[in-house]
Copies of this chain bind each other. A is one copy, B any other.
Amino acid sequence: MSTPKNKGVRADGRRNRARILAAAEGVFADNGPSASTEQIAVRAGVAIGTIFRHFPTKQALLQAIMKDLLRQLTDQADALAANGDPATALFTFFTQTVEQAVRKKSVIDLLARTGIDLQITEAVQLLDHSVHTLLTRAQDVGAITPTTRTDEVTTLLAAMCQATTLPSWNPDLQHRTLAVIFHGLTPNPPNPPNQANDKQAEH
């Protein structure tokens, strides 16, 4: 047997590994980053020993989840860079990501918190690169202030993701705060730097 990209391990091993990952993501989303490994074991339907067989420490488990999550975000960014309208792709990505943070609250929040000690720099760099592409394209069509740099976007993004855990957070507030940021990223005059201010100039 053994599926193509199989490293020569048993089927139940891989199955359980996936189960644990899924369960951990859910438990962290529900109960915050301080949720116990025991809870994850229960949700995954395995013994706690099994978790520590696959992930030698809790840190390792977190790393695995974070990398997975960062890869998802990177994929989304790449997809938007490939298909979407350059002028709105960055805003769409921004909104999508915050939206996702609402669902996976503590996972995202944990991203920022443990980001220092967790070794996920590689995955972070990949995301940065994708965001950079999104940003550059939007700037090329004049949708974003040309002086804006990638780290500003990712920082604002991380900040807003963390803000989703605020008690007062709600869809309306989300919409309005993101609108402020989007406006902040948009150049002042609609298109030409010359032209005083024309009334209706939408193309």
Contact = CB atoms under 8 A, between A and B. Distances in A.
Interface of A: 88, 91, 95, 112-113, 115-116, 145, 148-149, 151-152, 154-156, 158-160, 162-163, 165-169, 173, 176-177, 179-186, 188-190, 192, 194, 196-200, 202
Contacts of A112: 162-163, 165-166
Contacts of A197: 189, 192, 194, 196
Given A166-B158, A194-B199, A197-B196, A152 B181 contact: no
A149 to B, nearest CB: 7
Contacts of A188: 188
A183 B198 contact: yes
Nearest to A114: B167
A188 B197 CA distance: 11
Contact of A155 (B155, B166, B184, B194): B166
A91 B202 contact: yes
A116 B145 CA distance: 37
B184 A183 contact: yes
A180 B196 CA distance: 17
A23 B198 CA distance: 44
A116 B167 contact: yes
Given A163-B162, A192-B197, A197-B192, A155 B168 contact: yes
A29 B145 CA distance: 36
A200 B183 CA distance: 10
Q: Which 5 A-B pairs have the closest CB atoms?
A: A184-B184, A159-B163, A180-B184, A159-B159, A162-B162
